[in-house]
Structure 1
Amino acid sequence: MVGEVHFYSTEIAGELVLFDTGPPTPEGRHVLEQAVDLKRVRHVFVTHCHVDHYGQAAFLQEQSDAEIYFPRRDVLRLRRLEDWIAGVHRLLREAGFSEEYCLKLQRLFLSQDMLAPSPRRYQVLEESNVPDRLGLEVLSCPGHSQSDVVYRYQGEAVTGDILLREIFQSPSLDLDVETFSGRFRNYESYCDSLVKLATLEGDLILPSHRQYLLSVKEALLFYVRKLIDRAGQVKRYAEIDLVSEVVQQIFGPTLTNPFVIYLKASEIYFMRDFLADPDRLRRALGDTGLFGQVADLFNEVVEG
């Protein structure tokens, strides 16, 4: 839905380092083989375990002596995949979606379109001292997923999907893998991440989709404006309890793709969390000096 996906490589102290791997497709593997001397790869750092970012991790391990590093929350999910699937199923049923729809989405989540083979061994990123040894700064910036990580090195930052140019990356409706009960709170996490992301202004940003980012703050403002504007639309349906019914009211019967429906439901939860606690975003924007640029829209939606 957002076009091509990028991976990045660099050499640090004589060690070849790869950030993300691309999708588990023949085309993705071919590009990886053409662009990188696989046998020299020593470290593979993944920004988050969505299939287009870690899809070639198992293949890379077969072709090299590389260590693979997954964010901790992704490891928790992958190690208890059946429990995770059951939990997301439960969340969707609570949102009012039919059993038929939930089973259809479950099959999609378990398909090769959404789930790549896991490498036989991998390291938990947060438990490794390798990033420090290499001089990598690791910033936990959840919001799009609950595991988003930014890797920063000498004025450059690999940002995964959390910072993109003119893309509103959907905040995934997800089970909180710390407890395996209840919904992960993307909105609260994103507000905290926004403050961290603003500190990247001036770095060379290496995004996972689209080829460049001119300004971190402009990217953040684009995202926040979309959030507030769409929250204004969602607010019209405040009296409707079930998120599934809100999706139906806004998009009608023409929206039939199960995954797109899931993304729209994810966004509606995100917008409703904002509307329930707008001051959290106001404070984050104030801390970054960005609130003044969205104040009129913010006040119109929140107070209107």
Structure 2
Amino acid sequence: MARIVITEFMDERAVASLAAAHDVLYDARLVDDAPRLLQEARGADAIIVRNRTQVRGELLAALARCRVVGRLGVGLDNIDVAGCEARGMQVIPATGANALSVAEYVIASAMLLLRGAYVSTAEVASGAWPRTALSNGREIGGKTLGLIGFGGIGQLVAKLARALGMDVCAFDAMMDDDHPAYAELGVRCAGLDEVIKASDVISLHVPLVDSTRGLFDAARIAAMKPGAVLINTARGGIVDEPALAAALRERRLGGAAIDVFGTEPLPAAPHFQGCPNLLLTPHIAGLTAEANDRVSSLIAQRVAEALR
């Protein structure tokens, strides 16, 4: 019987499936108790985390007998993958399990921000009638979606966007220009600068690495099409937040949806105060009831297999 430590929230049914065969410690608040986390890590044969638990440095050193790290999500920037592998630890992400949740968030955000008409409830209920002010929203059909990163999630976003009548172009530094996914989904492969200049909506789907840190700085934001919308469900640190806020206030951009931030939880952010057509969410694009079930079930299954 192996000892499994789960440091962040996980679907209870998946936890129960692991507990049926193993000694499981499940505490969704463990991530916020560093001394106890280190203590429990020393006896763990497996550890299951989300994005807040930093499997590196002192915690990685404490995982002396650990054989597997389960990641309830796909991003691995909170895990020292090379360090884990050097210690013989298998790192298992939930690849693909939350892709639909993220893709739907992107499309819904794009439609909301382009239309700009879904924040009038209080005005209408109070007797106001802002019909003229809200009559110039834009349709998503016929617009160009630019994808920065064309992996599994980017491809699913493209599929949904094409079904709504959008043109889609994509840039991915890790994919060949003749990759069959472009033709299969009716997506045009383009360079980074071309995607930025041509798109009405830009959605980011790249990991946070040295080459993508600060990728959307003030210069690239300024190069976006006037009135364009920027959506970031990838990782904080890719977008220069103050530069984005300035572009929104100056009405150079038409809107933005930001789900990830350079520091999480996001502290007070005065640069975002008063920005028009801005949607901020607390890193939940990949979190729905269905996605949590899929992610948790997949990781429970694969961690159990790795411990056999």
Higher relative helix content: 1
Global fold match (TM > 0.5): no
Structure with higher Rg: it is 2
The TM-score range, normalised by the shorter chain, is under 0.3
Question: Under a length normalisation based on structure 1, what TM-score does the superposition of the two structures give?
Answer: 0.27
